[in-house]
Amino acid sequence: MILAIDVGNTNTVIGGFDGETLRFTVRISTNQTQTADEYALKLQGMFIMHKVCAKEIEGGIISSVVPVLSPVLQQAVEQLTGQRVLIVGSGLKTGLNIRIDNPGQLGSDLVVDAVAASHCYQKPILIFDMGTATTLSVVDGKGGYIGGMIMPGIRLAMDALSSSTSQLPRVDLTPPGQIIGTNTVECMQSGAIYGNAAMIDGVIDRLEEQLGEHATVVATGGMVNTVIPYCRHKIISDETLMLRGLKILYEKNRPAVERRNRLV
């Protein structure tokens, strides 16, 4: 079994792959103050819950937008399983042709999303990853990563709206019955959900105009099911895209891991 770990700003998603089968997924809160021992205890509890023996783990791979946690989780997995763990970053073989001004600035999460989407879907591809931030990655028809966008995530924007105004409450993101709200809460919910859906639709229109062709549109991330059902474009919702991308990257780099294990 291979562990795939996606560390986001708000949540960390952990998946266990038996071959190509995703046997389980777990979502926990990202906590920068926790130690490797504390994360190891969480992982151990996760293994018990899903009836996984630590000896089943052959290796692991981590993608993190919280750099301080990469070595912490790496140590946690290695001390629990005794197996080497890769971290997505420079030096890792991706097979992705990154054509932006400074390829070293591209976040590991965007790399993993693009690797998975390029493997699974017809190009060109627009990839929306909806978490604390909403990111967009563009993979052209030749498989090149040509750039993207970064926007405030829906929950982050709503929290900022509530905390920066004196009369607007914090609301849940339940869709209102109609687009025109008739009270404050409904107006905020409509603005968040339909407003973000309209933004995504508009961005897709402009990007396809610039690309000069129709694109496959894929959406992933913790907020994907809150917004994507209200978009007018055909958008593929793929909640396991990041985990599958991590598995693909692990397989691409497996020979290097095995060589290191033989030297230990």
**DSSP-assigned beta bridge partners for residue 4:** 15, 61
Cβ atoms within 10 Å of 91's Cβ, excluding its own: 9
CA dist., res. 157 & res. 55, Å (int): 43
Instruction: Please enumerate in sequence order all residues whose Cβ is within 8 A of that of 162, keeping only pairs 6 or more positions apart, or say none.
Output: 168, 169, 170, 171
Residue 109: active-site member: yes
Terminal Cα distance for the chain, rounded: 21
Decide if 158 contacts 189 (C-beta within 8 A): no
Residue from 37, 101, 109, 201 carrying the catalytic annotation: 109
CA dist., res. 62 & res. 250, Å (int): 9
20-27: long-range pairs with CB below 8 Å, 24+ = 20/247, 22/240, 22/243, 22/244, 23/50, 23/52, 24/50, 24/52, 25/240, 25/243, 26/50, 27/222
Q: What is the CA radius of gyration of the chain?
A: 20
* DSSP string over 138-153: EE-TTSEEEEEEEEE-
State both tokens at 40. 């190891």
> Residues with catalytic annotation?
109
